[in-house]
Structure 1
């Protein structure tokens, strides 16, 4: 897996390079600012980019802006954003194009090496991965929403797993149910959220995105 890294802190950048190299990834570029990131993505066309949300010059959201620009230039460019804090607005913007191949993780998740690699592979394959704390914040809010807009407890569990980037088979294993049952729950979620038949990956992203909209309302 070919990876581009964008991180302004030298120690963390070099740490990510070393970690990913040990995980048999090929780091084709490691940069420190958004312009260099866009150049590297245009030049290298990596399988996935790992991007700090805060890059120079203002250290606010330049990494996110560069990621969004990269996906405008080449739709579906796989991007995994790393952030120090949960920012639901940033998650919403990252998912706004309705495509897969995006992830948003808190930086401390990198410490769980096996899960980090699994998340990276999921994003590279076109999946959508959200940090468990982001998912938890979403569903804590949903639990207080009006009854008519709520999914059933099981449907919420399935959607939470979808938001974390889990496949149908993984969801089935997590919940102790069959893949056929998972498919039924997902179809019910799509129906309740008025998501018409179409590309499955696209609808999975939209289902999570609509819930993020509910939380921000």
Structure 2
């Protein structure tokens, strides 16, 4: 799998490159700003672009804008956005445009090579990965009147793992419960969030988007 890395802090880029190499992934380029990233993606056509959300010149959302542009221009390249801060509005903006082949993780999590490589592989496979800490914090602060506030502790745990891109089998293993129990909990989550069955939509992704919007 071929990956490009974009971060304006050289030591951060070097750390990501080392972790990716340890995980058996090939880094085919590095960039320090959004324009450089876009040129690199157009040239290399990588499987995944790992992008810092705040990049020069303003250090606001240049990485986010570049990520959306990459998904629009190069649909074969998945994007994993990294952030130092919990910013649910950024995650929501990403998912609403293209809810597949996208990830949003906190930088504190990617120091674990297994977490980083797993996230890269998930988005490369067309999955959606949102840092569970983001979802959990939003659920903890949900307004009493919101649908998300009515979720039980078990439902919150399942939703957080769902946001991480875990399958029902993986969720069952992580929570030490039966897979059929996970299926039942997922159905309860969809009902509480007002999401009836629809063969044309991915309710798992839409459930995460709904929580991010709140």
Q: What is the TM-score normalised by the length of structure 2?
A: 0.89
Q: State whether residues 155 and 186 of structure 1, in contact with CA within 8 Å, keep that contact through their aligned partners in structure 2.
A: yes
Q: State whether residues 38 and 66 of structure 1, in contact with CA within 8 Å, keep that contact through their aligned partners in structure 2.
A: yes
Q: Does residue 26 of structure 2 align to residue 26 of structure 1?
A: yes
User: What is the aligned partner in structure 2 of residue 152 from structure 1?
Assistant: 152
The Cα offsets for residues 98-138 of structure 1, whole Å up to 9 and x where unpaired, read as 52222111212122222222222222222222223312211
The verdict on how the C-alpha distance between 1:114 and 1:148 changes in structure 2, with shifts beyond 3 A counting, is: closer
Q: Does residue 133 of structure 2 align to residue 136 of structure 1?
A: no
The verdict on how the C-alpha distance between 1:199 and 1:76 changes in structure 2, with shifts beyond 3 A counting, is: farther
Distance in 1 (CA, whole Å) between partners of 2:48 and 2:69 is: 15
Q: State whether residues 6 and 52 of structure 1, in contact with CA within 8 Å, keep that contact through their aligned partners in structure 2.
A: yes
The Cα offsets for residues 141-164 of structure 1, whole Å up to 9 and x where unpaired, read as 23x523766233322221111012
Q: State whether residues 82 and 104 of structure 2, in contact with CA within 8 Å, keep that contact through their aligned partners in structure 1.
A: yes
The verdict on how the C-alpha distance between 1:186 and 1:148 changes in structure 2, with shifts beyond 3 A counting, is: closer
The Cα offsets for residues 143-201 of structure 1, whole Å up to 9 and x where unpaired, read as x523766233322221111012222111011222222222232233233333341256x
Q: Does residue 111 of structure 2 align to residue 123 of structure 1?
A: no
The Cα offsets for residues 25-77 of structure 1, whole Å up to 9 and x where unpaired, read as 11111111111212222232222111011111111110111001111223474
Distance in 2 (CA, whole Å) between partners of 1:140 and 1:211 is: 11
User: What is the aligned partner in structure 2 of residue 107 from structure 1?
Assistant: 107
Within a 5 Å distance, the mapping from 1:5-44 to structure 2 comes to: 5-44=5-44
Within a 5 Å distance, the mapping from 1:78-89 to structure 2 comes to: 78-89=78-89
Distance in 2 (CA, whole Å) between partners of 1:69 and 1:147 is: 32
Aligned residues: 212
Secondary structure in structure 2 of the residue aligned to 1:104: strand
Distance in 2 (CA, whole Å) between partners of 1:199 and 1:46 is: 29
Unaligned runs of 5+ in 1: none
Mean Cα deviation higher: 100-109 or 145-154: 145-154
Q: State whether residues 76 and 100 of structure 1, in contact with CA within 8 Å, keep that contact through their aligned partners in structure 2.
A: no
User: What is the aligned partner in structure 1 of residue 58 from structure 2?
Assistant: 58
User: What is the aligned partner in structure 1 of residue 199 from structure 2?
Assistant: 198
Within a 5 Å distance, the mapping from 1:171-186 to structure 2 comes to: 171-186=171-186
Distance in 1 (CA, whole Å) between partners of 2:198 and 2:61 is: 34
Q: State whether residues 135 and 211 of structure 2, in contact with CA within 8 Å, keep that contact through their aligned partners in structure 1.
A: no
